[in-house]
Structure 1
Amino acid sequence: MSTAKPEEQISDDTMEDMADEPMSLDELAEEGDEIEALRAENAELKDAYIRALADAENTRKRAERDRREAENYGGSRLARDLLPVYDNLERALRQDGDDVSEFDKALLEGVQLTMRELLKVFEKHGITPIQPELGDKFDPQSHEAMFEAPVPNTKAGDIIQVSATGFMLHDRLLRPAQVGVSSTPAS
Structure 2
Amino acid sequence: MQDQENQEMANQPQGDDAAQAQTVSAAEPGLEEQLSATEAKLAEMHDAFMRAKADGENIRRRAQEDVSKAHKFAIESFAEAMVPVRDSLEMALKVEAATVDSIKEGVEMTLKQLTTAFEKNRLVEVMPQAGDKLDPNKHQAVAVVPSEQEANTVVTVLQKGYMIADRLLRPAIVTAAAPK
Instruction: Tell me which interval the TM-score lies in, with the shorter structure as reference length.
Output: 0.5 to 0.7
In the alignment, structure 2 segments of 5+ residues that lack a partner are 1-24, 82-98
Deviation at 1:177, TM superposition (A): 1.9
Shift in alpha-carbon separation, 1:47–1:121, aligned structure 2, 3 A: same
Shift in alpha-carbon separation, 1:155–1:50, aligned structure 2, 3 A: farther
Any idea what SS the aligned residue of 2:42 has? helix
- Given the two structures, how large is their TM-score scaled by the length of structure 2? 0.54
Residue 172 (structure 2) aligned to one of 173, 177, 185: 177
Q: Does 1:128 align with 2:130?
A: no
Match of 1:114 in 2: 110
The 2-side partners of 1:177 and 1:36 are apart by 72
* Structure holding more helix per residue: 2
The 1-side partners of 2:163 and 2:33 are apart by 70
Any idea what SS the aligned residue of 1:168 has? strand
Shift in alpha-carbon separation, 1:38–1:71, aligned structure 2, 3 A: same
Q: How does 1:159-170 map to 2 (within 5 A)?
A: 159-170=154-165
**Identity of counterpart residues, as a percentage?**
25
Match of 1:138 in 2: 134
Match of 2:31 in 1: 29
The alignment's C-alpha RMSD in Å is: 3.7
CA radius of gyration, larger in: 2
Amino acid at match of 1:38: A
Q: How does 1:6-85 map to 2 (within 5 A)?
A: 24-61=26-63, 63-64=65-66, 66-68=68-70, 70-73=72-75
In the alignment, structure 1 segments of 5+ residues that lack a partner are 1-22, 80-102
The 2-side partners of 1:175 and 1:54 are apart by 41
Q: How many residues align?
A: 139
Q: Which has the higher contact order (CA 8 A, sep 6+)?
A: 1
Shift in alpha-carbon separation, 1:30–1:142, aligned structure 2, 3 A: farther
- Given the two structures, how large is their TM-score scaled by the length of structure 1? 0.52
Given that 1:73 and 1:169 are in contact with CA atoms closer than 8 Å, whether structure 2 keeps it comes out as no
- Give a deviation string over 1:77-126, Cα, whole Å, max 9, x none: 9x9xxxxxxxxxxxxxxxxxxxxxxx656654443333223222333444
Deviation at 1:135, TM superposition (A): 2.2
The 2-side partners of 1:33 and 1:65 are apart by 48
